[in-house]
Homo-oligomer: A and B are copies of this chain.
Amino acid sequence: MPTINEIGFLGTGIMGGPMAVNLAAAGFTVTAYDPDRIRLASLAERGVAAAASPAEAAAGRDAVVVMVASGPVADDVLFGSGGAASAMRPGALLIVMSAIAVPEAEAQAAKAAKLGLRWLDAPVSGGESGAKAARLSIMVGGAAGDFEVARPIFDVLGRAVHIGPVGTGELAKLVNQLTVASTIVAVSESLLLAEAGGADPARVREALLGGFAQSRIMDEHGKRIIERDFAPGGPAKYQIKDTGAAKALARSLNLDLPMLNLADRLFCDLVENGGGDLDHSALFLELMRRNGRLPQGSVLAAE
């Protein structure tokens, strides 16, 4: 198996920035590209070299990591004009860590294969805090041998599980987002019921964390809801991209998943009512709006 030393890194935003820094700190040679030149330059003092294009970041590297906002953007930085793929040597490894649709992953993997490149889809869960703390959960689709080659990268960023062939990492990420979105709705309804019923929601959360209602969402997002701290984190507008993709996948499999449909509808309501840039835990505000309980001056439009 080849050993990876030099990494190209495409996309140094909220997630990609700290991931690139962590890889450089672990001893990899990291050359990054981002259209935001100021953001990119700010990483230089933390060991991440700046490239002028995806192709420059990728040329001659053992592996290229992609952490951009969507499937079409990933396709563009890889296969568009000045894209990374054409600059890479045959046998090098593409690792797409963005959350993209399963068919997009399959199509991009096929294009990569034609160029003699290997491919993993490796989306993550854990958010900005997980990226910074190198505690991401990484869901990997692709060949088992390629997973082993990439493992030193994943080990720096968090904890990786090899799910199955190309696309199954993205499938697992959609499943993850289905669980996350639904659990945020469940926690929001629960804490609203607690408050409306006259209990201190902080004590209810504390009690629930000790039993079967425990979840990381109840812990972290429940705390946000109680403190009304809706600074992202994970903006609601990205949540509906993922629930929308999960719905499309379910439809293509002829699956009726009523809770996914409900969660998607409620998050769309939140975005339509002005909450798209709030953390996804602001679903609680959408429930308050729906019930005529929004406080005066709320960022959301009233019912």
Residues of A within 8 A of B (CB): 102, 124-127, 130, 136-139, 158-159, 161-164, 168, 171-172, 174-176, 178-180, 182-183, 185-187, 189-194, 196-200, 203-204, 206-218, 220, 246, 249-250, 253-260, 262-263, 266, 287, 290-291
On whether A176 and B246 interact (CB within 8 A), knowing A196-B253, A262-B258, the answer reads: no
Q: Cβ of A207 and Cβ of B174 under 8 Å apart?
A: no
A179–B208 Cα gap in the complex (Å)?
9
Which chain B positions have C-beta within 8 A of A175? Answer: 190-191, 193-194, 197, 199, 204, 208, 213
Tell which of B159, B186, B194 touches A259, judged by Cβ atoms closer than 8 Å.
B186
Complex: chain B residue closest to A209, CB-CB: B137
- Tell which of B126, B158, B171, B193 touches A199, judged by Cβ atoms closer than 8 Å: B171
CA distance A178 to B211 in the complex (A): 13
Judge whether B258 and A183 touch: CB under 8 Å: no
Q: Contact between A194 and B172 (Cβ–Cβ < 8 Å)?
A: yes
CB-based contact B257/A180 at 8 Å: no
CA distance A213 to B123 in the complex (A): 14
What are 6 A-B interface contacts by the 8 Å CB criterion?
A: A137-B210, A163-B199, A176-B212, A193-B255, A197-B253, A259-B259
**When the two chains form their complex, are residues A194 and B207 in contact, meaning their CB atoms are under 8 A apart?**
no
**Beyond A176-B207, A290-B256, A291-B255, is A164–B215 a contact (Cβ under 8 Å)?**
no
Q: Which residue of B is nearest A125, CB measured? A: B211
- Give me 20 other A-B pairs in contact (C-beta within 8 A), A136-B211, A164-B200, A182-B259 excluded: A126-B211, A137-B207, A137-B209, A138-B207, A159-B210, A163-B203, A164-B199, A171-B199, A172-B199, A175-B191, A175-B197, A176-B208, A179-B208, A179-B213, A182-B183, A183-B186, A193-B246, A193-B255, A193-B260, A196-B255
Q: How far is the CB of A163 from chain B (nearest CB, A)?
A: 5
Q: Give Cα A213–Cα B183 distance, bound, in whole angstroms.
A: 8
Which residues of chain B are near A176, meaning CB under 8 Å?
190, 207-208, 211-213
Task: Write the chain B residue with the least CB distance to A266.
Answer: B258
Contact B183 A183 (CB under 8 A): yes
Cα(A127)–Cα(B213), bound, Å: 12
A250 CA to B287 CA in the complex, in Å? 13
Closest to A254 in B: B291
